[in-house]
């Protein structure tokens, strides 16, 4: 391990602990999403309410990602991590013992997901704050590999546990207790915006006027009003696209307007108006938004076409995802060196072409066989895994280092909002058997091929948008 590349053992251990927590959270999130219909059937709830099991925890994931990453500019990382960790453990234990009612399941999953998101946010903030150059890109790639491994493991865990008792899925996050002692030793003790050098593990030199155990920095007080308005906007927006409840879009609009007025007049808002005048940040975030629109819908689409086209159950449908998951994890882990070699621009274009190729191959083959479906998903997931590292690094590099946490928080929020919007738009299309570009003669295969054509349109739009902005991206 190069000392110049990875300047502190504590930083490396912190990243590993945070990734384990996040990976286990993603495993639970995807496993419950994958067997949504079986859980709804077991709980005897109306089919129209099945989506609540997945969509509400996803909202907490999105809002949590923004809260944790943004607060990391003001609050000590170690405290943030333990707050989330306690929520994760509490939700897991509660859900294991109390899950017979829909509200119990939603409360447990939401608390579990909100708590576990701290792992992803802490990982990204440490990467942005303490690493630089090649190490940062490699770290983003490792995060992407872990992300895909977590989601992929969730598909298999959901398929396997659907055969006997799905409520044991709640116990997976308890494995994070194994890394708790290491996290206590390694996590940076300072506020991310005021850290010491990476070589001392981010230890802050204490100000004599500042209590040693202070949770917040006195120089960077948390903007409670600004945070509250933006969280209200984000949550209402996610609720609207999850349930199409029109009062939510009104609340979201009012909160956004109020937030805009507030940051113009406030003395020290947590995000300055100038942040949103950064054209490169806005453009690249829009690119990311378009690329991630189909992401959350892919596993649901896989389970659906496996059922209706190939007549497979959930456990066998998960096998279609085996090769794509392995591909995604491997590409994610090794994406850092590749990006460092070819540059961020070329890597983003290559990743977008892989995603587009996967969708077009699916549509052209019309799911001729499970192997063909798996091959097309390999292309897509390879593209997603390659995409994250250079695109997120480009977005974060477009803002000041002191605002890296808030920049990452908004990136995470954009990913979750985009995925939720895509899920709300595309899942109903999967249920609408009449939707097909291939006519009634195409059958179920033509129906799902048409949906993948829509996915391809999203990716094409993202590629064209990136080509517009690519001259401003630093290689």
Q: What is the tens place of the pLDDT at every residue in 23-61?
A: 999 898 888 877 777 888 888 887 767 777 877 887 788
DSSP 76: B
Tens of pLDDT, residue by residue over 75-87, are: 888 888 999 999 9
**200 lies in some domain:** no
**218 lies in some domain:** no
**134 lies in some domain:** yes
Return the structure tokens found at 68: 């944790």
414 and 451 in a single domain? The answer is: yes
Q: Give whole-number Cα distances, 314 to 8, 46, 310, 338, 461, in Å.
A: 44, 20, 11, 35, 32
Rounded Cα gap, residues 211 and 265, in angstroms: 31
Mean pLDDT value across residues 438-446: 66
286 and 371 in a single domain? The answer is: yes
The residues, ordered by sequence, that sit 6+ positions from 14 with a Cβ below 8 Å of its Cβ are 122, 126, 183, 186, 187, 188, 201
Residues 387, 291: contact at Cβ < 8 Å?
yes
Q: Give whole-number Cα distances, 17 to 23, 123, 301, 424, 442, in Å.
A: 10, 9, 32, 33, 48
Mean pLDDT value across residues 221-243: 80
26 and 52 in a single domain? The answer is: yes
Task: Report pLDDT for 326.
Answer: 87
Number of domains in the chain: 2
Whether the per-residue pLDDT at 219 is higher than 50: the answer is no
> What length is written for the chain?
475
289 and 169 in a single domain? The answer is: yes
For residue 243, give its domain range.
Answer: 223-269
- Rg of the chain over all Cα atoms, to the nearest angstrom: 22
Mean pLDDT value across residues 368-396: 88
Whether the per-residue pLDDT at 217 is higher than 90: the answer is no
Q: Which region among 39-53, 216-230, 426-440 has the lowest average model confidence (pLDDT)?
A: 216-230
Return the structure tokens found at 142: 């490792």
Whether the per-residue pLDDT at 197 is higher than 60: the answer is no
Rounded Cα gap, residues 73 and 205, in angstroms: 16
Mean pLDDT value across residues 90-98: 92
Whether the per-residue pLDDT at 203 is higher than 70: the answer is no
Q: What value does the mean pLDDT of the chain take?
A: 81
Instruction: Give the residue from 252, 269, 286 where a domain finishes.
Output: 269
Task: Report pLDDT for 472.
Answer: 66
Whether the per-residue pLDDT at 107 is higher than 50: the answer is yes
Residues 303, 314: contact at Cβ < 8 Å?
yes
Q: Tokens 């190069």 belong to which residue?
A: 2
Mean pLDDT value across residues 115-133: 87
187 and 229 in a single domain? The answer is: no
The 10 Å CB-count burial string (b at 16+, else e) for 109-146 is bbbbbbbbbbbbbbbbbbbbbbbeeebbbbbbbbbbbb
Mean pLDDT value across residues 180-205: 64
182 and 102 in a single domain? The answer is: yes
The residues, ordered by sequence, that sit 6+ positions from 229 with a Cβ below 8 Å of its Cβ are 255, 258, 259, 262
Give the phi and the psi of residue 204 in degrees, each rounded to 5. -80, 140
Write the burial class of residue 4 (CB in 10 Å: 0-12 exposed, 13-18 middle, 19+ buried): exposed
353 and 377 in a single domain? The answer is: yes
181 and 149 in a single domain? The answer is: yes
Task: Report pLDDT for 221.
Answer: 56
**91 lies in some domain:** yes
184 and 245 in a single domain? The answer is: no
**Share of residues in the chain with pLDDT > 70 (%):** 88
Task: Report pLDDT for 409.
Answer: 80
SS3 content of the chain, % helix, strand, coil (to 5): 80, 0, 20
Mean pLDDT value across residues 419-442: 73
Whether the per-residue pLDDT at 475 is higher than 80: the answer is no
**Tally of CA atoms within 13 A in the half-sphere of 236 that contains its CB:** 17
Return the structure tokens found at 197: 């050098």
Task: Report pLDDT for 174.
Answer: 93
**What is residue 439's three-state secondary structure?**
coil
297 and 440 in a single domain? The answer is: yes
361 and 412 in a single domain? The answer is: yes
Q: CA nearest 114: which of 154, 168, 58, 179? A: 58
Q: Which residues face 75 on adjacent strands?
A: 216
Return the structure tokens found at 116: 């576990």
Mean pLDDT value across residues 394-409: 78
Instruction: Give the residue from 269, 304, 334 where a domain finishes.
Output: 269
Task: Report pLDDT for 206.
Answer: 37
Task: Report pLDDT for 218.
Answer: 42
Q: Give whole-number Cα distances, 227 to 58, 75, 271, in Å.
A: 20, 13, 9
Return the structure tokens found at 186: 């390694």
328 and 228 in a single domain? The answer is: no
Q: What is the pTM of this model?
A: 0.78
Tens of pLDDT, residue by residue over 262-303, are: 988 888 787 778 777 888 888 889 999 999 999 878 877 887
CATH of the domain at 434: 1.20.1250.20
CA-CA-CA-CA torsion sign (430, 291, 59, 246): negative
Rounded Cα gap, residues 318 and 38, in angstroms: 15
Rounded Cα gap, residues 121 and 113, in angstroms: 13
Measure the CA dihedral 204/208/213/214, to 10°. Answer: -90
**2 lies in some domain:** no
**392 lies in some domain:** yes
Task: Report pLDDT for 216.
Answer: 42
Task: Report pLDDT for 31.
Answer: 86
Task: Report pLDDT for 158.
Answer: 80
């Amino acid at each position: 391990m190069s000392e110049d590349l990875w300047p502190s053992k504590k930083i490396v251990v912190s990243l590993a602990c945070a990734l384990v927590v996040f990976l286990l959270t993603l495993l639970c999130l995807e496993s419950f999403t994958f067997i949504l219909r079986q859980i709804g059937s077991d709980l005897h709830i109306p089919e129209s309410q099945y989506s609540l099991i997945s969509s509400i925890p996803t909202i907490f994931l999105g809002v949590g990602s923004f809260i944790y990453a943004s607060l990391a500019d003001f609050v000590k990382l170690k405290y943030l991590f333990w707050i989330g960790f306690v929520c994760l453990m509490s939700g897991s234990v509660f859900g294991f013992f109390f899950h017979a009612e829909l509200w119990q399941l939603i409360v447990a999953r939401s608390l579990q997901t909100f708590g576990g998101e701290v792992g992803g946010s802490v990982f990204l903030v440490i990467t942005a704050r303490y690493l630089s150059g090649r190490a940062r890109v490699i770290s983003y790639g490792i995060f992407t590999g872990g992300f895909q491994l977590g989601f992929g493991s969730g598909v298999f865990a959901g398929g396997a546990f659907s055969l006997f008792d799905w409520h044991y899925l709640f116990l997976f996050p308890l494995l994070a207790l194994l890394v708790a002692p290491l996290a206590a030793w390694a996590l940076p003790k300072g506020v991310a915006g005021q850290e010491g050098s990476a070589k001392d593990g981010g230890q802050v030199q204490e100000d004599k006027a500042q209590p040693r155990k202070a949770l917040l920095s006195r120089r960077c007080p948390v903007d409670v009003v600004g945070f509250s308005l933006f969280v209200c906007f984000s949550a209402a927006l996610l609720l609207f696209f999850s349930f199409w409840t029109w009062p939510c879009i009104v609340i979201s609009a009012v909160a956004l307007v109020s937030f805009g007025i507030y940051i113009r007049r406030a003395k020290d808002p947590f995000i300055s108006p100038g942040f949103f005048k950064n054209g490169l940040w806005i453009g690249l975030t829009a690119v990311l938004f378009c690329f991630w629109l189909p992401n959350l819908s892919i596993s649901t689409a896989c389970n659906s076409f496996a059922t209706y086209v190939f007549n497979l159950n959930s456990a066998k449908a998960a096998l279609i995802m085996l090769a794509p998951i392995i591909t995604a994890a491997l590409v994610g882990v090794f994406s850092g060196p590749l990006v460092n070699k070819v540059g961020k621009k070329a890597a983003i274009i290559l990743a977008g072409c892989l995603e587009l190729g996967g969708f077009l191959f699916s549509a052209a083959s019309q799911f001729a066989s499970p192997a063909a479906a798996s091959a097309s998903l390999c292309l897509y997931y390879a593209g997603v895994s390659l995409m994250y590292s250079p695109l997120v690094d480009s977005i974060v590099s477009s803002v000041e280092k002191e605002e890296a946490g808030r920049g990452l928080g908004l990136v995470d929020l954009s990913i979750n909002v985009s995925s939720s919007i895509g899920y709300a738009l595309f899942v109903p299309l999967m249920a609408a058997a009449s939707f097909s570009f291939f006519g009634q003669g195409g059958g179920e295969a033509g129906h799902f091929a048409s949906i993948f054509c829509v996915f391809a349109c999203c990716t094409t739009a993202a590629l064209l948008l990136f080509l517009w902005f690519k001259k401003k991206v630093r290689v």
